[in-house]
Amino acid sequence: MKKMKINSQIFVLFIAVFINVSLAKAQNNSLTNDYKENVIQSLSQLMNEYYVFPEVAKLTEQHLKTQMQDGYFDQFKNNETFAAALTKSVQTINKDKHMRIRSNQPYMISETSQESMIDQHIARMDRSREANAGFKTVKILEGNVGYLDLRGFAGMETGKDIADAYMKLMLRSDAIIIDLSKNGGGSPNMVQYLCSYFFNQKLLLNSLYWREGNTTEEFWTLDNVGGLKMNDVPLFIMTSERTFSGAEEFSYNMQTQKRATLVGQTTGGGANPGRSMRINANLSVFIPTGKAINPVTKTNWEGVGVIPEVATTVEETYDKTLDLAQKAAEAYRTKRNEKFNQLFTDLSNQLEHYIVGKTDDIILVRLKKCQEAKLFNEGDINNLGYDYLQTNKKTKIAESILRANTILYPNSANTFDSYAELLMINGDLEASVKNYQHAVAIAITTKDRNLELFQKNLEIAKQKLKQE
């Protein structure tokens, strides 16, 4: 009798199919009553040990065991449906949307060749680059309204520099929209950091109580961020049912501090942070080990969500938010310009009534107010000084203005160079040389590109001083 030759590829395919079918049957057959009882026992033990509300954990355990005795879980034949049923059951008692039971992905032995390791690493990098720490889109809309589509709150080590770059792009906006409608949360430290961009004063934003260690972690606004703060710019936050966890905290922080207007739908309602834990080789559970405590309401948004001031449908949210932001931006510009006009008028009055040796400190105070209001920066003050020098021919007033600039911007080589020039024009060569020297010293430290020019000006001043 002739031996049959079996194609090797067909044989391998047959074996693979056989193994997969066998595994599937094994999984279905593995969900015996003993298996389910062991899962419920392990899940209950984890909840009792770690869940932030121990009394609720006990009630949840009793509920699960009663359901098990009543045969409720008999209908679920695999880990996926069993996990979904367990999630529904525990949430019936604890109302905690963070607590979910999931079926673990089967462990796959990865290739260990150099090529596969490189491919996997590059794939991870590509996913990280595409996610961009949650920062999806930034743009300036009609009416000078800044818009940020933020999809997540990445850790500070990943997201801080990106956050600073995106916030800088919105710095000149007259109103800002932060779209959290597709944001599922993330790092509380990044929430704290981005909140800090919108407050000048020291405020307690949120606290997290942790059952483990019986400790409370406080999150205050930070004194410094990697850019300029926008503490008075009108702020609007877009929300939806998908807005969850850390994104809800950002919204709730801003709402309770009356810093922003929320527009959209009530958020998902997950306020209790925690971590994922293994029940067994097939199932895991996310157990909240802490709870948020807002300093204003003394509670949080768990189970109820954050309710926006302006309720809209999903389709209406963007247009409604933009309309509100554009109106707020117009009002903001009007109020700001009124303030600018008053500050400029007060400064001009002091300059026009300048008295040598008596008005200099008053002019400094007026310029400082203009600086703090962001009416003037270093270049504006420098230009103002040269206007009084070249256009108005009032050299002493120009000198007073440029002297004030060196006090307001003490680390700028250019301010000292300009002041030194006015001193030289006004005949005070000794003081001029000292300020030129100071300009050169700063330029060397800061590697100023105009160092050679400052050095040249210093030499000219020294020569004039020698000729006296």
Q: Which helix (H) or strand (E) holds 275?
A: strand 274-278
User: What whole-number distance in Å separates Cα of residue 168 and Cα of residue 110?
Assistant: 42
Residues in the chain: 468
* Domain limits, CATH 1.25.40.10, in the chain: 353-466
Contact of 320 with 169, CB cutoff 8 Å: no
Q: Which long-range contacts (CB under 8 A, 24 or more apart) does 35-44 make?
A: 36/68, 36/73, 36/82, 37/68, 38/280, 39/82, 39/86, 39/279, 39/280, 39/283, 40/64, 40/65, 40/68, 40/86, 42/279, 42/280, 43/86, 43/90, 43/101, 43/279, 43/285
From the CB of residue 83, how many other CB atoms can be counted at a distance below 10 Å?
A: 22
One pLDDT digit (tens) per residue for the chain, 468 residues: 444 444 444 433 334 434 444 444 444 456 899 999 999 999 999 999 999 999 999 999 999 999 999 999 999 999 999 999 999 999 999 999 999 999 987 655 555 677 777 877 777 777 778 889 999 999 999 999 999 999 999 999 999 999 999 999 999 999 999 999 999 999 999 999 999 999 999 999 999 999 999 999 999 999 999 999 999 999 999 999 999 999 999 999 999 999 999 999 999 999 999 999 999 999 999 999 999 999 999 999 999 999 999 999 999 999 999 999 999 999 999 999 999 999 999 999 999 999 988 999 999 999 999 999 999 999 999 999 999 999 989 999 999 999 999 999 999 999 999 999 999 999 999 999 999 999 999 999 999 999 999 999 999 999 999 987
Q: What is the pLDDT of residue 1?
A: 40
Q: Which position has the token pair 């743009």?
A: 139
Kindly write down the DSSP assignment for every residue of 53-108, as one continuous string.
Answer: -HHHHHHHHHHHHHHHHTTGGGG--SHHHHHHHHHHHHHHHH--TT--EEEPPPP-
Residue bearing tokens 């309602």: 269
Please state, as a whole number, how many other Cβ atoms lie within 10 Å of the Cβ of residue 76.
Answer: 16
Q: Which residues pair with 119 in a beta bridge?
A: none
Specify the pLDDT at position 17: 39
What pLDDT, on the 0 to 100 scale, is given for residue 167?
Answer: 98
**Which fold is adopted by the domain 118-326?**
2-enoyl-CoA Hydratase; Chain A, domain 1 (3.90.226)
Q: What is the pLDDT of residue 109?
A: 53
- Check residue 121 and give its pLDDT: 76
The angle formed by the CA atoms of residues 234, 239 and 242, to the nearest 5 degrees, is 155
Strands of the sheet containing 135-141, edge to edge, are 135-141, 145-150, 175-179, 235-239, 261-264, 310-311
Contact 375, 384 (CB under 8 A): no
DSSP letter at 227 equals S
Question: Which two three-digit tokens encode residue 231?
Answer: 């503490």
Answer CATH for 353-466 from 1.10.10.10, 1.25.40.10, 2.40.30.200, 3.40.50.970: 1.25.40.10
> In this predicted structure, what is the pLDDT of residue 112?
65
d(C-alpha 148, C-alpha 165), whole Å: 12
Give ranges for CATH 3.90.226.10 in the chain: 118-326
What does the buried/exposed string (b/e) look like for 143-176 if buried means 16 or more CB atoms within 10 Å of the residue's CB? Answer: bbbbbbbbbbbbeeebbbeebeebbeebeebbbb
* Pairing status of strand 135-141 against strand 145-150: antiparallel
